[in-house]
Structures are given as C-alpha cells and as structure tokens.
Amino acid sequence: MSRTQTFAQTLSVAAALLISAPSFAATYVVDASHSSVGFTVRHLLAKVNGGFSDFAGELNFDPTQVEATTGSMAIKAASIDTNNAKRDEHLRSPEFFDTAKNPELKFVIKKVTADKKDKKKFKIEGDFTMHGVTKAETLTGEYLGTEKDPWGNTKAGFSVTGKLNRKDYGIVWNKTLDSGSLLLGDDVELAINVEAAQKK
C-alpha cells in the first residue's frame, strides 16, 4: 500500500470519528425565579429601566459546540414592569405594546457564532417578534458556566445583551418637546440574565 493510500485512509477514519463523535448537548429550561428580562429606554434626558416578570424559555446547549445551540424564549407582554403602575398601563395600551392584540414577545435562535478569542462569548442571530412584527436581530451572549445547586440540579448561566429600534416594530408613540427634541428614545437596550436548569 502506498503512502498516499495510507494517508487517505487515515483521513477517512479521522473524518468518520468526528462525524460519529457523541454530542454532549443538554436541554436547559429557564428558571424564571433566578433570571431577568430587562430593558432601558431614554426618557427626556435620563434612561429608564424596565423589565418583564412572566417569561419562559428552553435551550439546547453544549459548551464544546456552542455553534450548534438552539432555543427560544417567550415573554408575556402584559407582565411589563417599570415600577410605575400608570406608566405600565400606558405601555400595555394600543399606543405601545397593545397587549390585548399582541400578548407575546418571542426570540427564536437561528444561528450562533462563537468569538474566535473567547469561546464563552458569541453572537446570537435570531427572529424577534414584538407588537406583531417579526424581524431578524443579532444579540451578544456569554456563557457563565455550569454548576450544581445544593439540591443536585445542574444549572447553567448566560448573559445576553443587545439593542433594537422600537419603530422597526411599529411602536412609534412619542411627544415633541418645546426644544424640538423627542420625549422618548427609539433605541431599546436589552439585558437578559438567565439561570437555566438542565432537564433530567
């Protein structure tokens, strides 16, 4: 057998091993009691924080194969909370989220790309639905590690940030100030912190 044939066989065996290599992906369910979905929007000159209290999500994740990650998160729009009851009612109205017609926000992962220098950091491309409109958005994620809690449950931590324009989703309400500036900013900064439990 020639060296060329031997080398070709070696490559074939290596490829077969890679293809048949076991996946260590696990399914994780978002633990809402230890997670948060927050946002920040400019109001006048300052930035106001808010969030949603009712959400659920699931993730199929393997830290050694980050780019194979799949998953989604659903958020109940009516659970919005900005620490001001009157403002929250306004945000639920047709001038903003119109929660009666659009009860849910959702993000579905389409592609994950790991950072070349730090594999625990990655870009998350997916379809984001809000106010009845679905658009492609790219978020930035970080894997914070895996740990067992005192009750033997395996937990994984993630941090996700991003920015979107509310007008892209038809949420356009605003007020013009005497200076000509607008009361509200268009950009919405997202900050999502997730602790998820591995399915047994």
Q: Cβ-count burial of 178 within 10 angstroms (0-12 exposed, 13-18 middle, 19+ buried)? A: exposed
Q: What is the pLDDT of residues 53-112, one digit of tens each?
A: 999 999 999 999 999 999 999 999 999 999 999 999 999 999 999 999 999 999 999 999
pTM, two decimals, is: 0.86
Residue 55: which of 38, 68, 43 has the closest Cα?
38
Compute φ and ψ for 84, nearest 5 degrees: -150, 105
Q: What pLDDT does residue 24 have? A: 72
Q: What pLDDT does residue 13 have? A: 42
Q: What pLDDT does residue 187 have? A: 98
Mean pLDDT by 10 residues, the chain (200 residues): 50 43 78 98 97 98 95 98 98 98 98 94 98 98 96 96 98 97 98 96
Pick the CATH number of 23-198 from 1.10.4190.10, 3.40.50.150, 2.40.128.110, 2.40.40.20: 2.40.128.110
Q: What pLDDT does residue 4 have? A: 46
Residue 148: which of 187, 194, 195 has the closest Cα?
195
The whole-angstrom separation of Cα 153 and Cα 90 is 40
Taking CA atoms, 69 is separated from 72, 107, 122, 138, in Å, by: 10, 14, 11, 15
Domain residue extents for the chain: 23-198
The whole-angstrom separation of Cα 122 and Cα 158 is 11
